[in-house]
Chain A
Amino acid sequence: MGFRSPGLTARLCGALTRAAAALVPLDRRAAFRREWDAELAHALDPRPPRRPPGPWGRVRLVYRAALALADALSLRARESTLDSFTKDLRLAVRSFGRRPAFTALALATIALGIGANTAIFTVVDAVLLSPLPYPEPDRLALVWEQDNERGWDRVPASAEDFLAWRAETRAFQALAAGRGQSYALTDGDGPPEQVPGMAVSADFFDVFGVRPARGRPFGPASNVQGAPPVVVLSHGLWERRYGADPDLVGRTIRIGGEPVEVAGVMPEGFQFPSQAQLWTPLVFSQAQLDDRNWHFLTLVGRLSDDVSVEGARAEIRTLAARQAEEWPESNAGWGADVRPLHAEMTQSVSGMLWVLLGAVGFVLLIACANVANLLLVRAAGRTREMSLRAALGAGKVRLVRQLLTESVVLAGAGAVLGVLLAGWALDALLALGPLTVPGGGTIEIDLPVLGLTALAALVTGVVFGAAPAVAVWRSDLQTSLREGGRSRTAAGGHRLRSLLVVSELALALVLVTGAGLMLQTVQRLLAVDVGVAVENRLVTQFALPAASYPGLEEQTRFYDALLESVEALPGAEAAALNPWVPPAGGPQIHVRLEGVHDAWTMDLPVVRLRPVSAGYFETMEIPLIRGRTLTDDDRLGAPRVVVVDQAFVDVHFPGEDAIGRRLLTLDDEPREIVGVVADVANAGLGNGSQPSVYLPLRQSTFGAGQTLIVKTAGDPAALVSAVRQAVSDLDPDLPLTGIGTLEDRVAAAVAQPRFNALLLGLFAVLALVLAAVGIYGVMAFTVSERTAEIGVRMALGASAASVRGMVVRRAVVLAGAGVVLGVLASIALTRLMESLLFGVEPGDPRTLAAVSALLFGVALLASYVPARRASRLDPVGALRDE
């Protein structure tokens, strides 16, 4: 990806030599290109005995390819007449060569600005702008149910609602359902392994318009009870686990211990939902068909010709309303929604990416302002050169064109460096970031992005080149020659430079504010009390396959044996089971309170329901508030009991004693509340605590997926292999997934905001440095411009301190203006990132105050060096130079 592929180098080199070839006289152009192409092809040839060039070698190659320009110009120069463009170009290259420090600073600034933009835009392009890799992807949409009373949108559909909609819809030419689940691969082709996949209805592949690359999709005949089991594999799984075996289709593999025939293998790049590695036929159980309150289906459809998303939404809502009338008990108050698939798939990252794109846009603006400033300063120093050329007959148009050529050359060179930088930045970004392309695919710098970069370079070149050009245009060149070329050209530039610095500071302040808010979000999230002991806990997931563990009895036997053998491991202090370990969410289930609710309706209270093993609260150190926790005696046959948390009591029994009250859950059996425990984070980090009900594992037939938690004496990671061995001794076919420490898991919940904070922080630092360089440049220039005046003042007795004060006062005025503008802009713009924040408001006054102080300090610091220089001027020397 990114720069790791030689493809980018080859494309860049090719683009550079092609651009150079345009300058070569026509009769020699073909030979020129042949020669350069051959040299580059040879240098990039990766086959033995040659080796592909390393990163540094690739930079050198791109540099060489850029120098094809020198070759092209020399060929052109051999033609007798030099046209003025070539002359401008040569002048530009030569004049930059004379001032290497200026050139390096300007190039680095542009490269950083353009590099950051190219990298982020590449990601935005791949993730948000590129269409999904399916035929007519704009016609794909997801269909959700909505609970209007609770304000829930994006609720999965129930089986009956799906079947009714599929039968009646006209807006969708195909509507498919899927249920994401996890599959245990237990064949001999590799170690047992748990992979994500989806059970789907037959027309699922038709909706996407993608057929398996090998074999066939499964037909509707597979979607009925008792049909022979089949599976379609993803290209990735086929390659990774089955070595891309061409004869795999038709063979039988084992999933969850059961034989399943491989019907087909999907083409590379097909991935829905995003991590799915295999698809099996969706078969509805009678219970699923009977229960209209059971919402478990993801619906994806392909719109009919000439039907818009809005049209489909209206139709599905009509159908939903009809169902609500027909089945008021389950469907009253329920609606439906249709949303474009692409937007739904990128919803979690799109807010962040747009904010980042805005941020790098600001960085580029600051970079432009900075380079414009540098060029203005340089132009002021070149007044004499310009005047001389004017005196020798160069028209103003010619001079302005010369200046613009220079800045475009500078921008072009900076852009080439920037693309190299972007290649690396992108690799780093992807290694670090939780970023995936919807529907599969890679994120890399491609030709459209390069084109946009070139355009950005051209525009920035003209924009920052315009400032000195305008200054020249307005000036009276004849006068300035007479005056000895002192910096009168820049008289108008003076105000312009101040304006540029003020806007740089304002933009930098917005970026630093954004980064500050994001940083606080991460801090607040990390400070959230999960409510359980996080340190020294090892966690891992597994799911008992129904084939080998059909009932509660078999499952309980396995769980008991597992807990016993794990607790016996040296270094293990305790072990427990719970399918959803905090801060993970888990499903929300209705409960009925005895004596409060008479029947099962949709407006019953919702809780997080967790079946846990007897030692769970002790292992996780969740404090008991009243009553008792669960014990091994809470088994089948014993009285049914539950433990609830304080949030549950606060909602349903405020001010009362909950112990002894009874409630009903999924199995419709009354259970007595025997204990109340403290709240834990159970809806994802930072989303607070929702009412929870804990069932004894031995009294629950609720799902077979489990998380094993081991409390360890020392480093939990040391127990990983021992725990694996203990599980494998009990059931060699049972795969473990996500084995790791609970600490890492909690940290992973902060990965996305941490990523945002890191990038925004990086851009903010960049902006701050650029702004500091900008204000330093302006102050240093002011000092050198006023050398004579300062000399006179000092000769007349002004103290060093008063001279320093004079310079710093000006910096204070500029910084003050920048800060005021920046604060106003921040208040307006940080609102756009509200959805990314936690625990801190956009426009947070404390953040704004701190950031303003920081910027003010940086500005003063940057002006201090020129101020000190001014105060140490030797008045005699300063006046003599005059």
Chain B
Amino acid sequence: MRLTYLTGVVLAAIEAGHRYGFDIMDATGIPDGTVYPALRRLEGAGCLEARWEDHQEAADHNRPARRYYRLTPDGRALLDQARARFPGVARIFGDPEPEAG
């Protein structure tokens, strides 16, 4: 997996708790058109895993279940590398928070 500033920001956003595609777009501020391709690449490389949201919860809100992303150990390692290489990524979401879900 090639490490770029973009993938670093996406990984950092997911770690900071932004788990859905549109939320990641909103949080990162990087061009909307690049977020999904980056997610697909990271997922394909095993840095992310995707799950469907709990159906009951979605049904309670009367909408279809969303697909959420979380970091795999590989993804966490890649994020560390990104923080080391791009100081901007380290600063972008402040201190890492414990991952939910």
Determine if A35 is an interface residue (Cβ-Cβ < 8 Å): yes
Complex contacts, A67 vs chain B, CB 8 Å: 32-33, 36
Q: Which of A31, A35, A63 touches B66 (beta carbons < 8 Å)?
A: A35
**Which of B1-9, B18-26, B90-98 forms contacts with chain A?**
B18-26
B 40-79 binary contact with A (CB < 8 Å = 1; else 0):
1100100000001100001001011111000000000000
* A38, B63: Cβ atoms closer than 8 Å: yes
* B44, A63: Cβ atoms closer than 8 Å: no
Q: Which of B21, B36, B65 touches A70 (beta carbons < 8 Å)?
A: B36
Task: Give A102 to B33 CA distance when docked, in angstroms.
Answer: 21
Q: Which of A42, A63, A71, A73 touches B63 (beta carbons < 8 Å)?
A: A42
* A35, B67: Cβ atoms closer than 8 Å: yes
Determine if A138 is an interface residue (Cβ-Cβ < 8 Å): no
Q: What total of A-B pairs shows CB separation below 8 Å?
A: 52
A 24-42 binary contact with B (CB < 8 Å = 1; else 0):
0000000100110111011
Name the distance in Å between A539's Cβ and chain B's nearest Cβ: 53
* A74, B40: Cβ atoms closer than 8 Å: yes
Q: Known contacts A34-B64, A34-B67, A78-B40; is A39 also within 8 Å of B34 by CB?
A: no
Interface of A is mostly: helix
Determine if B37 is an interface residue (Cβ-Cβ < 8 Å): yes
* A35, B33: Cβ atoms closer than 8 Å: no
Task: Give A71 to B38 CA distance when docked, in angstroms.
Answer: 9
Which residue on chain B has the smallest CB distance to residue A44?
Answer: B63
* A42, B32: Cβ atoms closer than 8 Å: no
Task: Give A251 to B6 CA distance when docked, in angstroms.
Answer: 70
* A39, B22: Cβ atoms closer than 8 Å: yes
Q: Which of B33, B44, B52 has the largest number of chain A CB atoms within 10 A? A: B33
Complex contacts, A43 vs chain B, CB 8 Å: 22
The size bracket of the interface on A is 20 to 34
Interface residues in B, total, Cβ within 8 A = 21
A 622-666 binary contact with B (CB < 8 Å = 1; else 0):
000000000000000000000000000000000000000000000
Q: Known contacts A67-B32, A67-B33, A67-B36; is A42 also within 8 Å of B22 by CB?
A: yes
Complex contacts, A63 vs chain B, CB 8 Å: 32
A 572-601 binary contact with B (CB < 8 Å = 1; else 0):
000000000000000000000000000000
* B32, A39: Cβ atoms closer than 8 Å: no
Q: Known contacts A35-B21, A39-B20; is A71 also within 8 Å of B64 by CB?
A: no
Complex contacts, A704 vs chain B, CB 8 Å: none
A 67-80 binary contact with B (CB < 8 Å = 1; else 0):
11011011100100
Complex contacts, B20 vs chain A, CB 8 Å: 39, 42
Task: Give A852 to B52 CA distance when docked, in angstroms.
Answer: 65
Task: Give A37 to B66 CA distance when docked, in angstroms.
Answer: 8
Q: Known contacts A39-B22, A74-B41; is A45 also within 8 Å of B63 by CB?
A: yes
* A41, B63: Cβ atoms closer than 8 Å: yes
Name the distance in Å between B10's Cβ and chain A's nearest Cβ: 13
* B33, A70: Cβ atoms closer than 8 Å: yes
Task: Give A42 to B65 CA distance when docked, in angstroms.
Answer: 9
* A39, B66: Cβ atoms closer than 8 Å: yes
Task: Give A42 to B62 CA distance when docked, in angstroms.
Answer: 10
Which residue on chain B has the smallest CB distance to residue A70?
Answer: B33
Task: Give A42 to B34 CA distance when docked, in angstroms.
Answer: 21
Task: Give A37 to B33 CA distance when docked, in angstroms.
Answer: 17
A 53-71 binary contact with B (CB < 8 Å = 1; else 0):
0000000000110011011
Which residue on chain B has the smallest CB distance to residue A73?
Answer: B37
Complex contacts, A31 vs chain B, CB 8 Å: 67
Task: Give A34 to B58 CA distance when docked, in angstroms.
Answer: 13
Complex contacts, B25 vs chain A, CB 8 Å: 64
Which residue on chain B has the smallest CB distance to residue A71?
Answer: B36
Complex contacts, A64 vs chain B, CB 8 Å: 22, 25, 32
* B44, A42: Cβ atoms closer than 8 Å: no
Task: Give A833 to B21 CA distance when docked, in angstroms.
Answer: 53
Complex contacts, A37 vs chain B, CB 8 Å: 64
Task: Give A34 to B64 CA distance when docked, in angstroms.
Answer: 8
Q: Known contacts A35-B66, A67-B32, A70-B34; is A45 also within 8 Å of B40 by CB?
A: no
Complex contacts, A73 vs chain B, CB 8 Å: 37
Which residue on chain A has the smallest CB distance to residue B66?
Answer: A38
Complex contacts, A35 vs chain B, CB 8 Å: 21, 66-67
Name the distance in Å between B42's Cβ and chain A's nearest Cβ: 11
Complex contacts, B53 vs chain A, CB 8 Å: 38
* A75, B40: Cβ atoms closer than 8 Å: yes
Task: Give A64 to B40 CA distance when docked, in angstroms.
Answer: 16
Name the distance in Å between B96's Cβ and chain A's nearest Cβ: 25
Name the distance in Å between A32's Cβ and chain B's nearest Cβ: 10
* B67, A74: Cβ atoms closer than 8 Å: no
Complex contacts, A41 vs chain B, CB 8 Å: 63-64
Complex contacts, B63 vs chain A, CB 8 Å: 38, 41-42, 45
Nearest first, the 7 closest Cβ-Cβ pairs linking A and B are: A74-B37, A71-B36, A70-B33, A38-B64, A67-B33, A38-B66, A35-B67
Known: A35-B21, A67-B33. 4 other contacts (CB 8 A): A42-B66, A45-B61, A70-B36, A71-B36
